[in-house]
């Protein structure tokens, strides 16, 4: 009873916090500008369990986000950004149960833009995967899919990012070097014993004009817009004798960071026109564990597995935004093979709807999940369907 009272009270307080009394604040003094903004998001989650399961802990009210963002600029060339999520900063202190999609800190970096190549140093999103770079708060969905949500590859890390935009920002080239620890770097003071970095690169091309990382066509662009992108990332975290990786780096499926070499690559595409938009991307994760007895090999022989394990999948989305109905409808499909040496694949369908009170700054969102095909070996589920209903407010 006490737990129900606490979650209900948190839900009510978060709604009160998200009332439209908030406003965006900017302060300027000479060439210095400081902008303050934030976001509150709450939802109720309900799972329909399979027969024989009676643990309903996931049927709950949740304060998903309570963010505060500070962005400061000095002239035209210097920028720093810091974003903290108070709803997550306390719950993500355990490396073994870290939520990569919702780290307590989302941004903490300094950027210089006074040269043709922009330099960004600090903690931020990695230039990999349009589904990761896109803003989930600008969609009807409450969460990304498994493929792009941080379970298979990290979405953020500490390091240096170079960005070269050209052809009036239609072409963007990114490159960077990072710790390779991903979001878990927030809970650790040191890198792993190998000390090796992760290298990430991306290029995308848009036509006929610049294409931002937004999934929904909020303004009904009058001409078709397209973007295609290619990206890759590589790291070698092979541990010397007697050393092991810190706990929790592998993630839910043991593939985010491994003791060995790891190459990830993928292609993506996006388009929008008159309220319609669509995205598609696929990723291949090539893992080469250093230990022949690594659990990822699933007890197969070296002659059979060739010393490598493949993971990855395909994700597609279609969306329509109605200005007349102030509504956005989206449908997402995922096809995943979490380990090619383990029998089974997974297919997931998710449908989401948003009623835009004030765009996605003030919006009611509902998302429905349904596994079309379950991977009984790599990702066994205790539920058949799931629905999330809640409210999001940005200021």
> For residue 335, which of 343, 344, 346, 327 has the smallest C-alpha distance?
346
Q: What is the pTM of this model?
A: 0.91
pLDDT score recorded for residue 121: 98
The sign of the CA dihedral 12, 144, 277, 368 is: negative
- With beta carbons less than 8 A apart as the criterion, state whether 238 and 289 touch: no
> For residue 381, which of 41, 49, 22, 12 has the smallest C-alpha distance?
49
pLDDT band at 96 (very low <50, low <70, confident <90, very high): low
pLDDT score recorded for residue 5: 40
SS3 state of residue 13: helix
Mean pLDDT, residues 190-218 = 96
Question: What's the angle, vertex CA 42, arms to CA 101 and CA 217, rounded to 5?
Answer: 70
- pLDDT, one tens digit per residue, over 219-272 is 999 999 999 999 999 999 999 999 999 888 898 999 999 999 999 999 999 999
pLDDT score recorded for residue 95: 61
- pLDDT, one tens digit per residue, over 47-64 is 999 999 999 999 999 999
Residues of the chain with pLDDT > 70, as a percent, come to: 91
The mean of the pLDDT values for the chain is 92
Mean pLDDT, residues 191-211 = 96
Residue 173 pLDDT > 50: yes
pLDDT score recorded for residue 301: 96
- With beta carbons less than 8 A apart as the criterion, state whether 136 and 354 touch: no
């Amino acid at each position: 009873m006490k737990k129900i009272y606490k979650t209900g009270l948190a839900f009510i307080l978060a709604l009160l916090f998200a009332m439209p009394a908030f406003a965006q604040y900017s302060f300027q003094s000479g060439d210095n500008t400081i902008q303050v903004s934030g976001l509150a998001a709450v939802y109720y989650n309900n799972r329909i369990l399979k027969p024989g399961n009676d643990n309903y802990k996931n049927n709950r009210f949740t304060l998903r986000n309570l963010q505060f963002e500070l962005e400061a600029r000095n002239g035209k060339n210097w920028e720093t950004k810091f974003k903290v999520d108070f709803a997550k900063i306390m719950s993500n202190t355990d490396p073994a149960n870290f939520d990569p999609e919702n780290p307590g800190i989302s941004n903490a970096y300094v950027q210089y833009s006074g040269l043709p190549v922009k330099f960004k140093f600090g903690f931020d999103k990695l230039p990999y995967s349009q589904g990761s770079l896109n803003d989930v708060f600008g969609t009807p969905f409450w969460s990304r899919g498994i493929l792009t949500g941080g379970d298979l590859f990290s979405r953020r890390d500490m390091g240096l990012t170079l960005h070269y935009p050209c052809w009036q920002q239609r072409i963007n080239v990114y490159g960077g070097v990072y710790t390779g620890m991903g979001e878990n770097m927030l809970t650790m003071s040191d890198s792993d014993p190998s000390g090796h970095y992760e290298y990430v690169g991306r290029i995308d091309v848009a036509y006929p004009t610049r294409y931002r990382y937004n999934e929904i066509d909020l303004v009904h662009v009058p001409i078709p817009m397209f973007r295609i992108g290619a990206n890759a990332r590589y790291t070698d975290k092979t541990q010397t004798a007697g050393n092991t990786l810190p706990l929790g780096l592998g993630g839910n499926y043991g593939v985010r960071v491994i003791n060995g070499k790891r190459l990830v690559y993928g292609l993506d595409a996006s388009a929008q026109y008159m309220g319609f938009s669509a995205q598609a991307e696929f990723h291949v994760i090539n893992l080469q564990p250093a230990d022949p007895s690594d659990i990822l090999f699933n007890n197969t022989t070296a002659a059979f597995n060739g010393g490598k394990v493949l993971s990855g999948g395909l994700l597609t989305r279609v969306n329509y935004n109605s200005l007349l109905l102030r509504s956005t409808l989206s449908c997402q499909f995922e096809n995943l093979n979490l380990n090619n040496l383990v029998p089974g694949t997974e297919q997931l369908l998710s449908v989401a709807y948003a009623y835009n009170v004030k765009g996605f700054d003030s919006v009611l969102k509902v998302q429905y999940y349904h596994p079309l095909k379950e991977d009984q070996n790599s990702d066994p589920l205790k539920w058949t369907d799931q629905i999330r209903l809640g409210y999001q407010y940005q200021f």
